[in-house]
């Protein structure tokens, strides 16, 4: 008797653009002290290069290069073993090599250096996932070169997923900062968007903020909304999550409701807050009066989930 197929549990926002899985990260493989020696000469081993937060891409793919004769360099990170996709069979071990600067010698066959923000709209799902993983772990290594306990240098181990203090032996693990982002509606089912003081132009988005130590996600939703808009919200509902490695966030999307729509921007982080009906938002975006977050963001996905479909922008209309 066969057991029933597992039921995929997908949150209301579905699988978000940056929430993909490209590799089997191989936590069992990466604990081997000689991991990089083992895979250095493997025929299926490939290197993903990054420099200054940018990776080498070509068209719709992250460039995966053969291992250089000089090996993997000082701080290689084992990204994992690829899963099958339309272009590649499964089973390629991918190693992230971070260079001190972009190497023009690697730019052959149309390859170029691109940031994740620029590349994410071009790359396929698995290549985006590789880039997200690489950017997040690379950002962590760049800023955790010393021990937070004693200040001594730390060295990478376990395939680049741990750093160990050279003085006191303490282990330090990659850091991820949870942040909530929330689509707030009022009794008329209007959506609240805010404009951050730091943003250029007339840009509006859902309110967001970091979760503080000792706080639940729901507590962070209620606190952040009160701080930024003066609104008292209730009933936070989880909608989905995706990594946001700029430099190391995990965005957790929520909806929440308020009974009293009298909102006041804090005047520091948030310079304006506005309630929109669906018609008002559609018209404000289509006319170019305001801009909203781009398609790879969880903000855009939260807004369109409320809106009931894609929101047309003036550029897209002009090109069509
Ligand atoms: Zn130490």
Q: Which residues crowd ion ligand 1, with CB under 5 Å?
A: 147, 149-150, 152, 165, 167-168
pLDDT tens for 46-87 read 999 999 999 999 988 999 999 999 999 889 999 999 987 666
What spacing in Å lies between the alpha carbon of 145 and ligand 1's midpoint? Answer: 11
Name the DSSP class of 13: T
Phi-psi bin for 217: left (phi > 0), alpha (psi -120 to 50), beta?
A: alpha
Produce one character per residue of 45-64: b if its CB has 16 or more CB atoms within 10 Å, e if not.
bbbbbbbebbbbbbeebbbb
Structure tokens at 34: 């000689």
What spacing in Å lies between the alpha carbon of 157 and ligand 1's midpoint? Answer: 15
Residue 39 has pLDDT above 50, yes or no: yes
What spacing in Å lies between the alpha carbon of 76 and ligand 1's midpoint? Answer: 22
pLDDT at 256: 98
What spacing in Å lies between the alpha carbon of 134 and ligand 1's midpoint? Answer: 26
For 171, other C-beta atoms within 10 Å of its C-beta total 11
What spacing in Å lies between the alpha carbon of 107 and ligand 1's midpoint? Answer: 39
What spacing in Å lies between the alpha carbon of 146 and ligand 1's midpoint? Answer: 8
What spacing in Å lies between the alpha carbon of 250 and ligand 1's midpoint? Answer: 27
Per-position DSSP letters for 188-244, written without gaps between them = T--EEEEEETT--SSEEB-EEEEPPTT--HHHHHHHHHHHHH----EEEEEEEEEEE
For residues 202 and 207, give the distance between their C-alpha atoms in angstroms, rounded to a whole number: 15
Q: Do residues 286 and 317 make contact, with C-beta atoms less than 8 angstroms apart?
A: yes
pLDDT at 83: 85
pLDDT tens for 223-257 read 999 999 999 999 999 999 999 999 999 999 999 99
Q: Which domains can be identified in the chain, with CATH numbers? A: 23-143 (3.90.79), 177-308 (3.90.79.10)
Sheet holding 162-165, edge to edge: 154-157, 162-165, 171-172
In the chain, the N- to C-terminal Cα span, in Å, equals 54
């Amino acid at each position: 008797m066969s057991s029933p197929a597992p039921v995929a549990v997908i949150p209301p926002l579905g699988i978000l653009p940056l929430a993909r899985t490209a590799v089997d990260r191989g936590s069992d493989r990466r604990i081997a002290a000689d991991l990089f020696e083992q895979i250095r000469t493997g025929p299926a081993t490939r290197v993903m290069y990054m420099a200054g937060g940018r990776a080498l891409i070509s068209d719709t793919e992250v460039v995966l290069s053969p291992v250089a004769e000089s090996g993997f360099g000082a701080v290689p990170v084992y990204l994992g073993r690829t899963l099958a996709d339309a272009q590649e069979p499964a089973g390629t071990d991918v190693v992230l090599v971070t260079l001190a600067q972009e190497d023009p010698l690697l730019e052959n066959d149309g390859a170029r250096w691109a940031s994740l923000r620029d590349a994410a709209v071009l790359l396929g799902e698995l290549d985006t996932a590789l880039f997200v993983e690489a950017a997040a772990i690379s950002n962590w290594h760049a800023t955790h070169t010393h021990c937070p306990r004693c200040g001594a240098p730390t060295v990478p181990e376990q395939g680049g997923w741990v750093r160990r203090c050279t003085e006191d032996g303490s282990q330090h693990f990659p850091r991820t900062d949870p942040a909530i982002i929330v689509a707030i509606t009022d009794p008329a089912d209007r959506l609240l968007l805010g404009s951050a003081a730091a943003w250029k132009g007339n840009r509006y988005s859902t309110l967001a903020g970091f979760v503080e130590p000792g706080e639940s996600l729901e507590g962070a939703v209620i606190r952040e909304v009160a701080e930024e808009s003066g609104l008292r919200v209730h009933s936070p509902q989880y909608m989905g999550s995706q990594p946001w490695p700029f430099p190391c966030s995990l965005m957790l999307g929520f909806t929440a409701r308020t009974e009293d729509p009298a909102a006041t921007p804090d005047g520091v982080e948030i310079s304006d807050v506005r309630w929109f009906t669906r018609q008002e938002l559609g018209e404000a975006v289509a006319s170019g009066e305001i801009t909203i977050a781009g398609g790879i963001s969880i903000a855009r996905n939260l807004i369109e989930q409320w809106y009931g479909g894609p929101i047309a922008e003036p550029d897209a209309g002009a090109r069509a």
